[in-house]
Amino acid sequence: MLQCNDLVKKYMNKTAVDGISFEAEKGKIYALLGPNGSGKTTLMKMIAGLVKPTSGTITYKGNPIGVESKKRVAYMSTEPFFYNYMSVADVGKYYKDFFEDFDEKRYEELVERMELGMRDKAKTLSSGLAAKLKIAATLARKAELYMLDEPLNGIDIIAREKIITAVLEVAREDSTILISSHLVDELEKIIDNAVFIKSGSIVLNGDAENLRASHGKSIVELYKEIYA
């Protein structure tokens, strides 16, 4: 479904992504794991078509990423992407205008589940609630590929469970999900594949179950070993 070949991204003299090749299959959940600055966000932004690779190729369903793939890929960045004056309802309208695959009904359900109010103003939301709003808007799209950059950051444990449940529901619809996070223990339960990134390169990548069996360690233990 998604294929990245020898991707490189250089910013001036900094190499953020250094030769990443990676494939994602339909219906699976992938964790992009790595410490701060390892290149996870840059990789996602290149797949989303927001950052141009210095070299290498990305294909989505056999075609280079572009207008068509952008319609099918829902990317949630770490940066806030709503205007302060917007209410939660306005965010839904804004998304509906932008994305053909935005499902209003699903947005309403997610908003309720995330304990947000349609009339709440974006600027009055706590950072945790604002993070939940981003999740609701992103998952309300009926996309084929979701890329969630640090969706659990700054969110309390109860809300994290809610987000994880919502992600699993989306995954059940045969969507592909890429999640970057430092909160490996939270992700361990739900991921199919783990991709460990270090200094812009993949150092370990595989089916989570196979990795656990072949290394005799949990994904959390592998994370500690790789990045210690």
Q: Note the residues at the interface with ligand ATP (CB under 6 A).
A: 11, 14, 16, 34, 36-42
Instruction: For the CB of residue 118, give the shortest distance to ligand ATP in the complex, in Å.
Output: 31
**Inter-residue contact 49 to 121 (CB < 8 Å):** no
Give me the phi and psi of 35, to 5 degrees please. Answer: -70, 175
* Integer Cα distance of 175 and 204 in angstroms: 23
CB nearer to ligand ATP: give 37 or 117: 37
Contacts of 216 (CB under 8 A, 6+ apart): none
CB of 180 to ligand ATP, least distance (A): 6
State the minimum distance, in angstroms, from the CB of residue 181 to ligand ATP.
9
Radius of gyration of the chain measured on its C-alpha atoms: 17
Of the two residues 95 and 146, which places its CB atom closer to ligand ATP in the complex?
146
Q: CB-wise, 36 or 126, nearer to ligand ATP? A: 36
The 10 Å Cβ neighbour count of residue 189 is 10
Residue 208 beta carbon to ligand ATP: minimum distance, rounded to whole angstroms: 20
Nearer CB in complex with ligand ATP: 13/126? 13
CB-wise, 16 or 143, nearer to ligand ATP?
Answer: 16
Q: How far apart are CA 196 and CA 38, in angstroms?
A: 9
Q: Is 115 left (phi over 0), alpha (psi -120 to 50) or beta?
A: left
At its nearest, how many Å lie between ligand ATP and the CB of residue 196? Answer: 11
Lookup result for tokens 């998952």: 139
